[in-house]
């Protein structure tokens, strides 16, 4: 394709001509994939990156000038998208590794600090001694992990009432289990 033909296509592309976009896509897709796969080393991810690059170029088509080399512009955009992908993957990997470390530490802490059977029984007995509504609120909060507003919705009471019941339950449990605290 000559520079003049490319310039005409770029003008049409910048004006929103979908056929011009299709022409540029068909003309440069495979070459861009071959370029990006050298960076990413995964065919599926490469195709996603190249397609994403084309979508981004379509969205920013008004900014593309007809006096540039579209192929160079496209390759630079694909390169930047690939680098952003790599950076993102590093962030994800670091996050997963930190989460795995925290899970492992939590498991070890749990195993090394498991209360004995007697304490578990005392806790269960103390919870069973709570007034029915306090017990219900406490179990929904501590055993099911619901937030106060969720408990209020489920039981049809106000959030303030949930707070009062939780305060009462915790006070009673502290008193019942004070020898273990």
The two structure tokens encoding residue 18: 């979908």
Of residues 172 and 107, the one with the higher pLDDT is 172
CATH fold of 117-176: Arc Repressor Mutant, subunit A (1.10.10)
The two structure tokens encoding residue 31: 């070459």
Concatenated DSSP letters for 32-78?
HHHHHHHHH--HHHHHHHHHHHHHHHHHTGGG--TTS-HHHHHHHHH
Q: What is the domain partition of the chain in residue ranges?
A: 3-108, 117-176
Coil, helix or strand at residue 113: coil
Q: What is the pLDDT of residue 32?
A: 97
The owner of tokens 């050298």 is 38
How far apart (Å, rounded) are the C-alpha atoms in residues 165 and 11?
69
Contact 28, 70 (CB under 8 A): yes
How far apart (Å, rounded) are the C-alpha atoms in residues 4 and 67?
9
Q: What is the pLDDT of residue 106?
A: 72
Q: What is the pLDDT of residue 31?
A: 96
Q: Which architecture does CATH list for 3-108? A: Orthogonal Bundle (1.10)
157 secondary structure, DSSP code: -
pLDDT per residue as tens digits for the range 23-78: 999 999 999 999 999 999 999 999 999 999 999 999 999 888 777 888 999 999 99
117-176 matches 3-108 in CATH topology: no
In Å, how far are 83, 118, 129, 141, 174 from 177, measured between CA atoms? Answer: 56, 12, 12, 19, 5
Contact 127, 173 (CB under 8 A): yes
Q: What is the pLDDT of residue 44?
A: 95
Q: What is the pLDDT of residue 111?
A: 59
Coil, helix or strand at residue 145: coil
The two structure tokens encoding residue 159: 């959030």
Q: What is the pLDDT of residue 109?
A: 63
Q: What is the pLDDT of residue 90?
A: 94
Of residues 108 and 88, the one with the higher pLDDT is 88
How far apart (Å, rounded) are the C-alpha atoms in residues 21 and 12?
8
How far from chain centre, in Å, is Cα 37? 25
The two structure tokens encoding residue 124: 């269960």
Q: What is the pLDDT of residue 84?
A: 95
pLDDT per residue as tens digits for the range 116-160: 677 788 888 888 999 999 999 999 998 889 899 999 998 999 999
């Amino acid at each position: 394709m000559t520079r003049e033909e490319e310039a005409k296509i770029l003008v049409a592309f910048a004006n929103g001509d979908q056929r011009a976009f299709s022409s540029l896509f068909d003309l440069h897709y495979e070459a861009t994939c071959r370029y990006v796969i050298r960076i990413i080393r995964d065919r599926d991810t490469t195709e996603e990156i190249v397609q994403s690059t084309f979508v981004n170029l379509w969205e920013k088509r008004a900014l593309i000038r007809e006096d540039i080399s579209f192929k160079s512009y496209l390759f630079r955009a694909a390169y930047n998208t690939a680098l952003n992908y790599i950076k993102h993957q590093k962030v994800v990997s670091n996050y997963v590794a930190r989460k795995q470390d925290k899970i492992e530490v939590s498991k070890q802490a749990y195993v090394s600090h498991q209360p004995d059977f007697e304490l578990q029984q005392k806790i269960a007995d103390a919870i069973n001694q709570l007034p029915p509504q306090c017990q219900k609120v406490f179990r929904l909060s501590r055993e099911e992990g619901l937030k106060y507003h969720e408990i209020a919705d489920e039981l049809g009471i106000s959030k303030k009432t949930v707070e009062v019941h939780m305060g009462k339950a915790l006070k009673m449990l502290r008193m019942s289990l004070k020898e273990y605290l």
